[in-house]
Structure 1
Amino acid sequence: MGDNLHSIWLKDALVFLFAAGVLVPLLRMARVPSVLGFLLAGLALGPFGMGALAESWPWLGHLAFSDPEAAKPFAELGVLFLLFLLGLELSFEKLWMLRRLVFGAGTFQAVASVAAIAIVLVFAGLDGHAAVAVGLALALSSTAIVMQTLTEEKRATGPVGRSALAVLLFQDMLVAPILILIGFLAPGRDEGLFSALLEALIQGGIAVAVILLFGRFVLRDAFGLAARAGGRDFLMGLTLLTIVGGAVLTASAGLSLALGAFLAGLLLGETEFKHQAEVDLEPFKGLLLGLFFMTVGIGLDLATMLAGLPVVLAGLAALLALKALVAVAACRAFGVRPAHALETAFLLAPAGEFAFVVVATAASGGILDAATATTVTGVAGLSMLASPLMARLGRKLADRFEEAAGADVDPATFPDLTGHVVIAGFGRVGRTIAHMLDAEAADIVALERDAAVVSRERAAGRKVYLGDAARPEILSHAGAAGASMFIVTVDNAHDAAAMVRAVRQMRPDAPVLARARDAEHARELHAAGADFVIPDAVEAGLQLAARALSEFGYASEVLGDRIAAERNAAYGRADAA
């Protein structure tokens, strides 16, 4: 028995590593987001994919998970790592600034979503208690999917990331109350609801207080002791203890595991050990979070969904529309900018993995019949599969909305401008270039898609305008016809290449300089039409190499020649490849 279990574990581990190391990277090459890639991989390699086909073709059983339940504890650890690292990036001051969104927009979104879904279902003929149970199941979103999507885009701590996180944190606090409500919706349970909710509130408050007290008075000293005793391995052990301990405390009080991990990260982020924890956990977080998304995909029964496809698709469309409208209203009511509210709404519109727990609880309590439970599970599962696509659509619509709303800055005063430099992207790199060009009295017009950056730089007197430099009409308003030079500084590979192509189509004769992430990105930009490309990775390596050679005692003139030769060789390889 033990040997058989051991062989199942080994086989499932190989299946997961094959998915993570081969299948998902292949999907990424096809521009499929990694979150969706892991979800699809779980769907394909689970019992409803390869596992079902193995009955007819036994050899396919070697490519399917044999015991998906065994992976769930490790998958949950990935979610804990994600929330812990998000906590490290924030601070109590930033979290306090989000309090209106957490308790204001969060309450609005949760209550209004439950009410809207329940009302629609009652009109569709569902029993009142069952309609409320379905509303409670579908009102919450997936913290892991939403925040990982934003983390991949390096926007988890930006305006949209903060808005989404605030609502998701409040949703995490609702885990216990929702399960209590589901219990009292069951037939014959009409008494004691208030006392049960009050007890859950007290237990949750005690758990949070214990975590905060431990963090304030014990955490720093404990990490200092581990560092003095031997370093990285002890620190790693204590970090894991902090994450899992915080999660267990909140879970034992009826709150979510993720909330405890987030609080632990928030507390450790106030100490000098923050960066060490980030470096240690990052590689594990990616793999384990991928395993979590795969377990979600494994649980999706497409065959059952297809059996009631028209109802499931209608429910999916209604769910996404209702939750998006509610989330937009919630965010706008508490001061979120229109474009950010729109993007946040698209992120929060799909259901989360907690829906499966609520549906199972409601079905076992007799609130939902089997057919309704299957339909709701199908709607929740498909909405989660659609999450990365919803995120992309939300971002595109938000960008268009910002461009339309930004018409009052009117860059149309520049079509006849000549001899100026157009900078696409005005982040740190763009600002550095502008500062250097200021010394030469160069006339600069910048295009930036972040409205907050535009407002700040315009207040400082810069000619910075809201717009996407990949769109010819925006370039035309920025005076592309008379510009002496174009500089593209954005770090998104796809966006940068699109901008270079747009510039090259309008101005075949003008110099186009671009920033690349690495040699591969540099080759893509050269193919798009850039004249000169600076790969960040190459320049960082050359600067570090220069410092290393300096430490070896090389003279400055020899050092300059060596670095110049290597720079020419590296750029030559990028151009030739």
Structure 2
Amino acid sequence: MAGTASHASFLPPVLVFCAAAVIAVPIVRRLGQSAVLGYLAAGLAIGPSGLGLVGDPGTILGVAELGVVLLLFIVGLELKVSRLMSMRRDIFGLGLAQMAVTGVAVGLVAQWAGFSPAGAAVVGIAIALSATSITLQILEERHDLHTPYGERSFAVLLFQDLAIAPILAVVPLLGTAGAVGSLPDALTGVSIALGAVLAVVIVGRYGLNPFFRLLADSGAREVLTASALLVVLGAALLMQEAGLSMAMGAFLAGVLLAESNFRHQLEADIEPFRGILLGLFFISVGMTIDLAVVRQEWRTLLLATPVIVAGKALIVAVLMRTFGSPWRDGLRAGAALSPAGEFAFVLLPLAAGYAILSPSQAQLLTALAAFTMLAGPVAAKALDGWLAGRGEPEPEPDSFDGAEGEVVVIGFGRFGQIVNQILLAQGVDVTVIDLNVDRIRNAARFGFRVYYGDGGRLDVLRAAGAGRARMICVCIDDPPGATRIVEMVHQHFPQAATYVRAYDRIHAIDLMNHDADFIVRESFESALAFGQGMLEGLGIERDQARAVVDDVRRRDTVRLMLQRTEGMMGGLDLLHGVTPEPLVEPKAKTRALSPETRDIIGDESI
């Protein structure tokens, strides 16, 4: 019973988090604001400074950081190495410029406000960083992650993650304590970090695909989910031990799996954990806000928060414009990047530990960072409303090379393979999903891009880019499954046309009743082609044979429509050779040659 009691002790905090989220987030969304603001407000309400329903936000924050880790893994899955290399100008150009300009500007203001030079440097770095989780959440809510400005915003975030290891190495050098011998330690730390990155790259490049293929062969879907979490959390932990951020390790693992056949299934398996833990992270950040500090320094916070949010947004907008983006994109990126980063909650206490900042200064700056996280989503939403009011066109989305296809094909069996030959011959960008590992392995030999996944799952379709596809082709040989996919596509991806392989006539009518856009029975057209060949083999002219086949096809189509409305017996008179009464009197009575046949035709003779 003691074990039951210990398990039950976890239930009250879980219920508090769930209740806070389901109350705060819908209210905030109803007000037209980002869900992030709702999570932060919920955390503030239930935290130690609010109602005190949860007393230790630090413990929760440690677990909730996994939400950011999983988010970066999913983002990495959508970036190929080639795409990442093409972004190097934005990563090391725009990202470095944003950190340098923002850091210097904030640092100068901090020094003017009375901070020491070392303290001002730490403040500048901490505020210059942006909240990865909030920025990506805002871009996802806007559906702009794959637009030009969304990619550039992500490039800035990626540079900031890369800069974390050098920042951690520099902080001890700025402090009065532990300065001696810090430089060799810093160099050692950088070497360890580079070694960890190299290890993740080697394992990801040569080990992960065979690993996932072996697990997929076992047919145990839950093991694939566990293996996905193992890879993400393992890479994150390795990077953390090497002095880099956990998010950086997860992102790197995602990039290395971006070209894997298992990419979409991994994304679908990770997504539920990512959403829950990311919401928990935002709640835990809200819990860290100390209302005692807020009450004491409310004037400073009230003045500094909008100044920092507006200043960071303006700096990013100017730099984006310098790098060739239009002002509209620059402003939207600036608003998304304006909140201070999650790393500020690590960097500021660390600086206080090295006596670079006083405890009161660290508390004030931590509260300021949290307030920018509250104000940033509000500013981004207000900017969206202002830009929409001006009536300017939305930026056109950029095609994300290799991420999603113009057509999504579900099923790579005999039927699906022929369909893909036609599409690829025309140069159509195709994403193919199949659950058969052998088919995927064979497809890779011929250059097909086939991903492991269950096309009947909504999360897999979303991960495969169904929300942006023009057409979804269902080529599986499971009639109920194909019908369910059509229903799902019409409900969640109305922009996509549904082209479906029907198993037989009954399945075709079922698909018609579910408003599939195009239906073909898997054996009908091949049987017509076979029949035409037979007629030509019997000496009938090709044109005459084709006319006969066209007539059969026309009659069959009309009959199919009648069967849809009248039932399976509708349109019998349209069949060649089937009439209600015989045209001539039979010369002999029909005789059944077996008891089974006698029952069918009603022959009562003995």
TM-score, normalised on structure 2? 0.65
The 1-side partners of 2:99 and 2:493 are apart by 48
- In the other structure, the counterpart of 1:338 is 327
Amino acid at match of 1:298: M
Aligned partner (choices 394, 399, 422) of residue 449 of structure 1: 394
Q: What is the CA deviation profile of residues 60-83 of structure 1, one whole-angstrom value per residue up to 9, with x for unaligned ones?
A: xxxx22443443343122111111
The 1-side partners of 2:566 and 2:385 are apart by 45
Q: What is the CA deviation profile of residues 465-490 of structure 1, one whole-angstrom value per residue up to 9, with x for unaligned ones?
A: xxxxxxxxxxxxxxxxxxxxxxxxxx
The 1-side partners of 2:83 and 2:493 are apart by 35
Distance 1:234 1:2, change over 3 A: closer
Output aligned runs, 1:231-270, within 5 Å: 231-270=220-259
Distance 1:396 1:295, change over 3 A: same
Question: Are positions 1:185 and 2:174 aligned together?
Answer: yes
Residue 112 of structure 1 contacts residue 326 of structure 1 at CA under 8 Å; is this kept in 2?
yes
- In the other structure, the counterpart of 2:266 is 277
Distance 1:538 1:188, change over 3 A: closer
How much has 1:540 moved relative to structure 2?
8.8
Amino acid at match of 1:557: M
Secondary structure in structure 2 of the residue aligned to 1:272? coil
Aligned partner (choices 83, 94, 101) of residue 105 of structure 1: 94
Aligned partner (choices 495, 507, 512) of residue 552 of structure 1: 507
Distance 1:538 1:131, change over 3 A: closer
The 1-side partners of 2:150 and 2:75 are apart by 10
Structure 1: stretches of 5+ with no match in the other structure? 52-63, 404-447, 454-516, 518-533, 564-577
Q: What is the CA deviation profile of residues 301-346 of structure 1, one whole-angstrom value per residue up to 9, with x for unaligned ones?
A: 2332122111112222332233223322333333333322221112
- In the other structure, the counterpart of 2:66 is 77
Distance 1:101 1:25, change over 3 A: same
Provide the aligned C-alpha RMSD in A. 3.2
Question: Are positions 1:46 and 2:47 aligned together?
Answer: yes
Amino acid at match of 2:560: S
Question: Are positions 1:374 and 2:319 aligned together?
Answer: no
Output aligned runs, 1:423-502, within 5 Å: 448-451=393-396
The 2-side partners of 1:252 and 1:205 are apart by 12
Identity fraction in percent: 37
Amino acid at match of 2:152: S
The 1-side partners of 2:352 and 2:233 are apart by 30
Secondary structure in structure 2 of the residue aligned to 1:235? helix
Distance 1:540 1:73, change over 3 A: same
Aligned partner (choices 147, 154, 162) of residue 151 of structure 2: 162
Segment drifting more, 198-207 vs 371-380: 198-207
Aligned partner (choices 204, 207, 211) of residue 196 of structure 2: 207
Residue 550 of structure 1 contacts residue 559 of structure 1 at CA under 8 Å; is this kept in 2?
no
The 2-side partners of 1:141 and 1:365 are apart by 23
The 2-side partners of 1:194 and 1:337 are apart by 42
The 1-side partners of 2:173 and 2:490 are apart by 60
Secondary structure in structure 2 of the residue aligned to 1:351? coil
Distance 1:363 1:5, change over 3 A: farther
Question: Are positions 1:14 and 2:15 aligned together?
Answer: yes
The 2-side partners of 1:329 and 1:539 are apart by 38
Structure 2: stretches of 5+ with no match in the other structure? 399-467, 469-488, 510-558, 568-606
Q: What is the CA deviation profile of residues 497-537 of structure 1, one whole-angstrom value per residue up to 9, with x for unaligned ones?
A: xxxxxxxxxxxxxxxxxxxx9xxxxxxxxxxxxxxxx9855
How much has 1:138 moved relative to structure 2?
1.4
Distance 1:396 1:94, change over 3 A: farther
Q: What is the CA deviation profile of residues 400-424 of structure 1, one whole-angstrom value per residue up to 9, with x for unaligned ones?
A: 7893xxxxxxxxxxxxxxxxxxxxx
- In the other structure, the counterpart of 1:32 is 33
Amino acid at match of 1:44: A
- In the other structure, the counterpart of 1:481 is none
The 1-side partners of 2:257 and 2:22 are apart by 31
Residue 101 of structure 1 contacts residue 331 of structure 1 at CA under 8 Å; is this kept in 2?
no
Aligned partner (choices 373, 376, 379) of residue 384 of structure 1: 373
- In the other structure, the counterpart of 2:109 is 120
Segment drifting more, 553-562 vs 272-281: 553-562
The 2-side partners of 1:250 and 1:243 are apart by 11
Q: What is the CA deviation profile of residues 435-460 of structure 1, one whole-angstrom value per residue up to 9, with x for unaligned ones?
A: xxxxxxxxxxxxx422568xxxxxxx
Residue 81 of structure 1 contacts residue 243 of structure 1 at CA under 8 Å; is this kept in 2?
yes
TM-score, normalised on structure 1? 0.68
Q: What is the CA deviation profile of residues 88-137 of structure 1, one whole-angstrom value per residue up to 9, with x for unaligned ones?
A: 11211221111111111111111222211111121222221221121122
Distance 1:229 1:35, change over 3 A: same
> Which structure is larger by alpha-carbon Rg, 1 or 2?
2
The 1-side partners of 2:391 and 2:191 are apart by 43
Amino acid at match of 1:9: F
Distance 1:553 1:335, change over 3 A: closer
Segment drifting more, 179-188 vs 94-103: 179-188
The 2-side partners of 1:251 and 1:67 are apart by 23
Distance 1:131 1:145, change over 3 A: same
Secondary structure in structure 2 of the residue aligned to 1:386? helix
Amino acid at match of 2:395: D
Distance 1:32 1:230, change over 3 A: same
Residue 343 of structure 1 contacts residue 397 of structure 1 at CA under 8 Å; is this kept in 2?
no
Segment drifting more, 177-186 vs 295-304: 177-186
The 2-side partners of 1:214 and 1:159 are apart by 31
The 2-side partners of 1:283 and 1:548 are apart by 33
The 2-side partners of 1:170 and 1:354 are apart by 13
Segment drifting more, 137-146 vs 192-201: 192-201
Distance 1:8 1:352, change over 3 A: farther
Distance 1:370 1:549, change over 3 A: farther
Amino acid at match of 1:552: H
Secondary structure in structure 1 of the residue aligned to 2:115? coil
Secondary structure in structure 2 of the residue aligned to 1:85? helix
How much has 1:205 moved relative to structure 2?
1.8
